[in-house]
Structures are given as structure tokens and as C-alpha cells.
């Protein structure tokens, strides 16, 4: 399998990561720019819609003011064109009525809205009926008006109320062609009659005024004019939208003007409205969002410019940043190559006050330490070589001593000196085992045999100063593993530090047992004992090694050997009472190995 790969440098990765981040940021900025542009376009169209409605409302308010002025003049002032009629019946009353009708017609014409006044009727019971307007009059129009269901309601309105409502046409002659009119009725203030029904003026307005006003606007707009009770008066391009939905929105918002984003007939729209204060009419425009003209070329150019600018600026900054960042990294790599070639000299150029400079300082310190370690290792290797030579030289003496002791043993045998034979044999076995090393593992049986040789020599030396009692709870423990020369130093310590100073014969008890997979060996003597303060430093004071002892291994060394081999939870434990006893307990993991023959 080919493991060669194209190396990707840190700088390339940084540039790639930064480029991806820049693209994401540029994309987000582009999205935001588009959203802002669209939102601004919607707000602009909503403002234009409000301006259009305000233009229409201004025209309609001017028209309504003129029409109200006509009604007020007819109802509230005893004008010149009615003086002759109201003065009584004489020979000139017919001519005066004709004159008054002409004056009323001219008065309507002067307002500029004569074509939208369907009919204006001035009526006084049993006196006169004067009419003008775009529609023909009839002698019974007064009765038709008073018979309309809305007549009394409108006649009783406050003199300051001029709210428009859409009502059925009361005139039979043109009711089919003009089914709906907008009436305004006021009683004649100068009439001497007791009932308002006996003298009044009625102006009926044609809805065509509002339709003609809407036609002055662009024909692609959706505009609707409603009365205060949400009756449609005039509309343009409103066929797709539900009047019930509009009524629900406008009914919930009673502000004079407003603009909302709503959903009408399953389409997202901007609804703009304005309420006329006098007539109570409601003008509203519905602007579907999809109809808002967005300039795609301008959007593409803007987004493209923003995107490319973000990429160019971000990439330039990324190159500068990665160059600044990778320069010290390159110096670190070059210095590491120098170190790998074996040169551990310090390089001050890789040290600075930033994080990479701290790394460079640590590398310099590490190279200095490595150089020192290599020098120490060379020195240690040299010392090890010298030590091995000395060890080889030291092995000559034990072998020579083995041969000499073997010769002494045969001479003593020939002379029947059994005591000399026993001592020489025991000493030969001791020297032979000691020469093999201290950390070798043996069985408990082998360790006890080695200990028996040592005890044989010491008993002859001290003329039966002590006895040794060995107890093994389970015979299987003879095959348990133990580090060689573990028991001999402990028995040696019991003889020379416990029994010998007491000046009387003593007993050394060795108890071998196991608990929970742990092998315990206790060595107890009835010597002088150890004080409590001496017990605390017994296992840590290496100066207590007595060089004239046979093994030369003290209790601290035995404890350290066990902990190094088996772990810190194992080792020696000392319990003693001054003048009574001393007990040293060895704890080892219970391991079995084959008995060597």
C-alpha cells in the first residue's frame, strides 16, 4: 500500500479554512444585502401606496367639501334665488320657481361636480319643489325620497354629521341604471313648518365620482373605496381579494392611516389604508408582494459586487495573516530539522513574546536538556562498561573460593571432621547463591534451603545461642514465588539486632501463610525489641546497612526491592515492643512456580 501523500502545509490549511469562512461570510452578507434591498423596496412601495391614497383622499375631501357647502347653503341660508318663492303666492311665483331652479343648477355647476350630483331636491310641503342635477326630475320625487327607508334616519342626523352611506336609489325612473346612491339630507333651517319632514334638502351623490377619481391613477393598482360600514363604493382590480378578509383587518385596526403586511386570498400582501375624517370613507390599496418590481440586474450587480469585495478583502487579509503566522512556524520547523541532524545548539531566532515564541523557548530548553541527557548517557555507558569489567574480575574470587572450599571439605572428610564439613558445605552453598544475584525469583522451598545453610553457620558460630522454628500453614506454599535473599537479611537482623544484644538464648519463629491471594511471612524474635520512634525510620534509613554482616543487605533495601518488583502495596511491616519481641512481616502477591530440582 502506497502511504505517500501530498503534503498539506499549515499555511495552505489556514488559507483554505479562512477562504471557506470568508465565502460563508460573503454569502451571509449577500443574503443580508438582498433582504435589505427587498425590504427597502417593499417599504418604498408601501410609501408610494400611502402617497397615492393620500392623493385620492385629498381630491375626494375637496369634492365632499364642495358638496357639503351646497347642502349647507341650501339648508341653512335664505338665499336670494328662493326669496321670491318663500314670499308667498303671486303672479310671479311660477317665474320665480323657474328662476330659482336655474340658480340652483348654476350653483351646482359652479362647484365643478355637477355631473356627479345625481339629483339635489329642495322641498317644502304645499309650497315648492326645486330640483337640479345630472338626472331628470319628476313631480313626485319628493314623495319618493320621503318614502325611502333611510329618509327619517338621515334627516335626524346631527347637523355636523356628513358621513356617506350607500343606499338604494329612491327614484323609479333610473333605479335600474343607477341602483345605488349616496344621499345627504338636511332640514331647511329657515322653514316655518313644525315637522322637519315638511321642509328639507336632499343631495344624492353618484358613486361614479369615486370611480372617475380612481381612473386617474395607474390602472395596474388594486384600490378599493369603502363606506364606514365597509360597503364597497368603488374599486379597481380588486376581483382577486376577499372583502371579508379586508373587513376583518380594517375592523381590527381603527387608525386613520396605516400599513400592514397581511395574507389575503392566500397571497402575501401589503395593505395600506386611509380613513377620510368627514365622509368616513375608507380608501385602501392591496399590494401583492410578488408584484413588487425588483430590478434583477441591480440586485445581481449589488450582490456580485458585495460578494467579490468580501472575497478579495478577506483573502488578502488571510494571506497577510497566514504569512505572519507561518513565518515563525517555518523557523521552528527548520530548527527541528537542525536538532534531528544532531545539532542541539540554542537558536534565539525562534524565541519571542507570543505563543509560538514560548514554544520556541521550550524547544531550546528541550534541546539543551537532550544534549545534557546524551552526555550523561555516554558517561553512564562508560561507567557501566567499567562496572561490568569490575564484576567480571570480582567473579574470579568466588570461583576460586568454591574450589578452595571444596578441597577443604574433602580433606576434612578424609580426616573425619564432620563439623568442618558441615560449615564448609553451608558456606559454599551460601556463596554460590549469593553470587547469582539478588533479584532472582525462587520458590519458598529454595529460599528456606538457602536460609538453612545460613542458620547452620550462625549456630556453629554462636554455639547454639538461638533456635529457629519454621511453620508453613499450607504445604502448597512451598512452591510460592519469592525474591531470593528476602528471609536471610531478616533473620540476620533478628540475630544481630535482637537476640545477641539481649545476652540470653532466643527463639526465632518463622510463620508462612496466605490470605486473599497475598503471601505473608512473619519473622518474630524475643530479643531486645525496637522503640516506636526507631520503627518509623527503620525502613527509610539506608545507613543502617551493616557491612560486616554476611549479606550486606539491610531492611530498607529488602523493602525497596519488594516494592520495585511487586508494587507499593507490598513490602515489610514492623511491630515491636521494647524488651519483649520484634516481628517483621513480609507481604507478597501469591504466585506459584515450578520447583527446580
Q: What percentage of the chain reaches a pLDDT higher than 90?
A: 17
Q: Could you tell me whether strands 506-515 and 466-472 are parallel, antiparallel, or unpaired per DSSP bridges?
A: parallel
In whole angstroms, what is the distance from residue 28 CA to residue 219 CA? 39
Q: What is the dihedral of CA 203, 206, 209, 210, to 10 degrees?
A: 110
User: What is residue 389's predicted lDDT score, i.e. its pLDDT?
Assistant: 46
- Give me the pLDDT at residue 569, please: 92
Q: What pLDDT does residue 522 have? A: 95
- Residue 270: strand pairing partners: 261, 287
Count of CA atoms in the C-beta half-sphere (13 A) of 531: 2
φ and ψ of 553, to 5 deg = -115, 120
pLDDT given at position 479: 92
pLDDT of residue 377: 80
Q: Are 264 and 286 in contact (CB under 8 A)?
A: yes
Secondary structure (H, E, C), 447-469: HHHHHHHHHHHHHHHHCCCEEEE
- Mode of pairing for the β-strands spanning 267-275 and 571-577: unpaired
**String of DSSP letters for 559-584:** HHHHHHHH-TT-EEEEEEETTTEEEE
What is the DSSP secondary-structure string of 386-434?
HHHHHHHHHTHHHHHHHHHHHHHHHHHHHTT-HHHHHHHHHHHHHHHHH
Residue tagged 402575501 (cell numbers): 268
The DSSP symbol for 527 reads S
Nearest to 279 by CA among 234, 242, 249, 241: 234
For the chain, percent of residues with pLDDT exceeding 70: 79
Helix, strand, coil shares of the chain as percentages rounded to 5? Answer: 55, 20, 30
The predicted pLDDT at position 302 comes to 72
Q: Is the pLDDT of residue 245 over 80?
A: yes
Sheet holding 267-275, edge to edge: 232-236, 222-226, 282-288, 267-275, 257-264
Q: How confident is the model at residue 432 (pLDDT cuts 50, 70, 90)?
A: low
Q: Looking at mean pLDDT, say which of 76-90, 91-105, 246-260 comes out highest.
A: 246-260
pLDDT at 523 over 90: yes
d(CA 203, CA 562): 124
Q: What is the DSSP letter of 594?
A: P
What integer is the mean pLDDT of 477-493?
Answer: 89
Q: What is the largest CA-CA distance in the chain?
A: 198
Average pLDDT over residues 568-576: 92
80 has a pLDDT exceeding 60: no
Segment 565-569 shows an average pLDDT of 88
> Which of 74-88, 147-161, 393-407 bottoms out in mean pLDDT, i.e. has the lowest?
393-407
Overall average pLDDT of the 506-525 stretch = 94
Contact yes or no for 439/451 (Cβ under 8 A): no
Q: So what's the pLDDT on residue 482? A: 92
User: What per-residue confidence (pLDDT) applies to 511?
Assistant: 96
pLDDT digits (tens, 9 = 90+) for 295-316: 666 667 777 777 787 778 777 7
Mean pLDDT of 576-582: 91
As a whole number, the mean pLDDT across the chain is 79
The model's pTM: 0.50
Phi-psi group of 125: left, alpha or beta (phi > 0 → left; psi -120 to 50 → alpha; rest → beta): beta
pLDDT over 70 (residue 363)? yes
What are 363's three cell numbers?
A: 524547544
The residue that leads in pLDDT, 291 or 552, is 291
pLDDT in tens, 379-417: 877 766 665 545 444 443 454 455 555 556 665 666 566
- Of 97 and 282, the structure prediction assigns the larger pLDDT to 282
User: Which pLDDT score, from 0 to 100, does residue 509 have?
Assistant: 95
Q: For the chain, first and last CA: distance in Å?
A: 53
Long-range contacts from 212-221, C-beta under 8 angstroms, 24+ separation: 212/116, 213/56, 213/59, 213/60, 213/63, 214/56, 216/59, 217/52, 217/55, 217/56, 221/49, 221/52, 221/285
- Partnered with residue 181 across adjacent β-strands are 167
Helix (H, G, I), strand (E, B) or coil at 74: helix
**How do residues 14-42 score in pLDDT, each as one tens digit?**
777 777 777 787 777 777 777 777 788 88
**Cα dist. 15→11, 24, 261, 317, 355 in Å?**
6, 14, 44, 10, 20
Average pLDDT over residues 364-386: 75
- Locate cell 551493616: which residue? 546
Say which DSSP state 497 is in.
I
Residue 547 is predicted with a pLDDT of 38
pLDDT of residue 260 exceeding 80, the answer is yes
What is the rounded (10 degree) CA torsion for 184, 188, 189, 193?
-140
pLDDT(342) > 90: no
Distance of CA 145 to the CA centre of its chain: 75
Q: Which range in 60-64, 73-77, 343-347 is most confidently predicted, on average pLDDT?
A: 60-64
Q: Let me know: does 477 contact 444? Beta carbons within 8 Å.
A: yes
Amino acid at each position: 500500500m502506497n502511504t505517500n501523500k501530498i503534503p498539506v502545509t499549515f499555511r495552505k490549511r489556514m488559507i483554505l479554512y479562512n477562504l471557506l469562512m470568508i465565502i460563508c461570510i460573503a454569502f451571509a452578507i449577500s443574503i443580508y444585502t438582498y433582504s435589505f434591498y427587498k425590504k427597502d423596496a417593499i417599504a418604498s412601495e408601501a410609501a408610494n401606496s400611502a402617497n397615492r391614497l393620500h392623493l385620492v383622499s385629498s381630491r375626494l375631501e375637496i369634492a365632499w367639501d364642495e358638496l357639503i357647502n351646497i347642502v349647507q347653503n341650501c339648508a341653512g341660508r335664505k338665499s336670494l334665488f328662493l326669496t321670491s318663492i318663500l314670499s308667498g303666492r303671486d303672479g310671479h311665483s311660477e317665474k320665480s320657481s323657474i328662476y330659482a331652479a336655474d340658480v340652483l343648477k348654476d350653483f351646482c355647476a359652479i362647484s365643478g361636480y355637477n355631473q356627479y350630483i345625481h339629483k339635489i331636491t329642495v322641498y317644502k310641503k304645499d309650497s315648492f319643489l326645486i330640483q337640479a342635477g345630472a338626472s331628470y326630475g319628476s313631480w313626485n320625487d319628493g314623495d319618493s325620497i320621503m318614502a325611502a327607508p333611510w329618509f327619517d334616519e338621515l334627516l335626524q342626523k346631527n347637523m355636523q354629521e356628513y358621513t356617506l352611506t350607500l343606499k338604494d336609489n329612491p327614484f323609479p325612473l333610473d333605479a335600474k341604471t343607477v341602483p345605488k346612491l349616496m344621499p345627504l339630507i338636511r332640514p331647511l333651517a329657515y322653514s316655518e313648518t313644525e315637522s322637519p319632514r315638511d321642509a328639507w334638502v336632499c343631495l344624492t351623490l353618484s358613486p361614479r365620482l369615486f370611480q372617475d377619481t380612481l381612473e386617474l391613477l395607474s390602472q395596474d393598482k388594486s384600490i378599493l373605496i369603502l363606506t364606514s360600514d365597509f360597503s364597497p363604493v368603488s374599486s379597481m382590480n380588486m376581483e382577486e381579494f376577499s372583502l371579508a378578509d379586508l373587513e376583518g383587518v380594517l375592523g381590527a385596526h381603527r387608525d386613520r392611516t396605516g400599513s400592514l403586511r397581511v395574507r389575503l386570498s392566500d397571497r402575501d400582501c401589503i395593505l395600506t389604508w386611509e380613513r377620510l375624517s368627514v365622509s368616513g370613507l375608507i380608501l385602501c390599496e392591496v399590494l401583492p408582494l410578488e408584484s413588487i418590481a425588483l430590478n434583477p440586474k441591480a440586485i445581481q450587480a449589488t450582490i456580485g459586487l458585495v460578494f467579490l469585495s468580501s472575497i478579495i478583502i478577506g483573502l488578502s487579509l488571510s494571506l497577510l495573516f497566514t504569512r505572519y503566522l507561518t513565518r515563525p512556524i517555518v523557523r521552528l520547523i527548520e530548527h527541528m530539522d537542525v536538532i534531528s541532524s544532531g545539532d542541539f545548539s540554542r537558536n534565539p531566532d525562534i524565541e519571542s513574546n507570543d505563543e509560538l515564541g514560548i514554544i520556541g523557548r521550550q524547544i531550546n530548553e528541550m534541546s539543551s536538556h537532550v544534549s545534557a541527557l546524551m552526555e550523561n548517557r555516554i558517561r553512564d555507558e562508560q561507567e557501566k562498561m567499567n562496572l561490568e569489567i569490575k564484576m567480571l574480575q570480582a567473579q574470579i574470587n568466588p570461583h576460586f573460593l568454591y574450589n578452595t572450599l571444596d578441597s577443604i571439605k574433602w580433606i576434612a572428610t578424609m580426616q573425619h571432621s564432620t563439623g568442618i564439613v558441615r560449615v564448609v558445605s553451608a558456606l559454599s552453598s551460601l556463596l554460590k547463591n549469593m553470587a547469582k544475584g539478588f533479584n532472582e525469583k525462587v520458590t519458598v522451598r529454595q529460599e528456606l534451603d538457602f536460609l538453612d545453610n545460613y542458620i547452620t553457620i550462625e549456630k556453629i558460630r554462636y554455639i547454639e545461642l538461638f533456635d529457629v522454628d519454621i511453620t508453613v500453614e499450607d504445604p502448597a506454599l512451598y512452591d510460592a514465588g519469592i525474591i531470593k535473599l528476602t528471609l536471610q537479611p531478616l533473620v540476620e537482623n533478628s540475630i544481630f539486632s535482637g537476640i545477641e544484644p539481649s545476652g540470653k538464648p532466643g527463639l526465632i519463629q518463622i510463620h508462612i501463610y496466605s490470605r486473599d491471594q497475598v503471601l505473608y511471612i512473619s519473622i518474630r524474635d524475643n530479643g531486645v525489641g525496637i522503640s516506636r520512634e526507631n520503627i518509623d525510620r527503620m525502613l527509610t534509613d539506608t545507613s543502617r546497612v551493616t557491612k560486616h554482616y554476611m549479606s550486606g543487605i539491610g531492611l530498607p533495601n529488602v523493602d525497596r526491592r519488594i516494592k520495585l518488583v511487586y508494587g507499593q502495596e507490598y513490602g515489610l511491616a514492623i511491630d515491636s515492643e521494647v524488651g519483649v519481641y520484634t516481628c517483621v512481616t513480609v507481604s507478597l502477591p501469591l504466585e506459584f512456580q515450578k520447583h527446580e530440582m
